[in-house]
Amino acid sequence: MKVLILGLPRTGTQSLADALIQLGISPVYHMREVGINNHQDFWIRAIEDHIPPFSPSEQTKITTTPWTREQWDAILAPYEAVSDFPPALFPTALAAAYPDCPIILSTRSFESWAASMRDTLVHGFVNRDRGKRSPMEGLAAAYHSACWGDDFERNGRGYWERHHAEVRALREGGRRFLEFCPGDGWAPLCEFLGVDVPEGVPFPRSDDWVEYKKRVERERREGKVE
């Protein structure tokens, strides 16, 4: 493991993952890896072991002893970086398991993030076809329950604020840390990683949500549903 991207979904995590790959940091564990490798149960267990039942007034992250590096390495060992959901749910635990890895917090304004979430992950889960269960549905249900108690409009801002505070606290003690916004481009990322800016290569502008929806529909057509 070389880099931990710990920003929330819909903050440019796919573009950052693709940028790392272009810079030679590869493979990167991103949401798309979950379904491809059938890792849903692993991440559901991680949520159960690290995140307490939702309470808007008393939401702490760690309820049991955080997993060891060996436990995370059960699926993450082949990867040189993580990005997006589900790894971003566990910033403190992953930072402890991989203490030498620099941390990148991808972020944007709450308002733009919330609007993007409403149009994608929240909309997709709330309006899912309950008669056709996706292989990712169990993990999605655990995610929406743990983060905002299945009520994004009421509790989404609180989760966003807690998450950013938790990740920013990780820079204490001299941890290498970069806060990165969509549109920042190659320069701050390459300076942070100590590599040259790729000449003549535009910074990736990726959105895996479109491909995810296509994959789910394909799985449904092929009968790969629960």
Q: CATH number, domain at 57?
A: 3.40.50.300
**Residue 82 covered by a domain:** yes
Task: Confirm if 14 and 84 have CB atoms less than 8 A apart.
Answer: yes
HSE of 186, CA atoms in CB hemisphere, 13 A? 14
Q: Which two tokens stand for residue 155?
A: 């509790």
pLDDT at residue number 207: 62
Q: Which domain holds residue 79?
A: 3-221
**Residue 134 covered by a domain:** yes
**Residue 23 covered by a domain:** yes
Annotate 184-217 with DSSP letters as a single string.
Answer: --HHHHHHHHT-PPPTT-PPP---HHHHHHHHHH
pLDDT at residue number 211: 54
Say how many domains are in the chain: 1
Low pLDDT (below 70) residues in the chain: 56-64, 130-132, 207-226
pLDDT in tens, 119-163: 988 888 877 776 667 778 899 999 999 999 999 999 999 999 999
**Residue 24 covered by a domain:** yes
**Residue 226 covered by a domain:** no
Q: What is the C-alpha separation between 202 and 195, in angstroms, rounded?
A: 16
pTM beyond cutoff 0.95:
no
pLDDT at residue number 128: 76
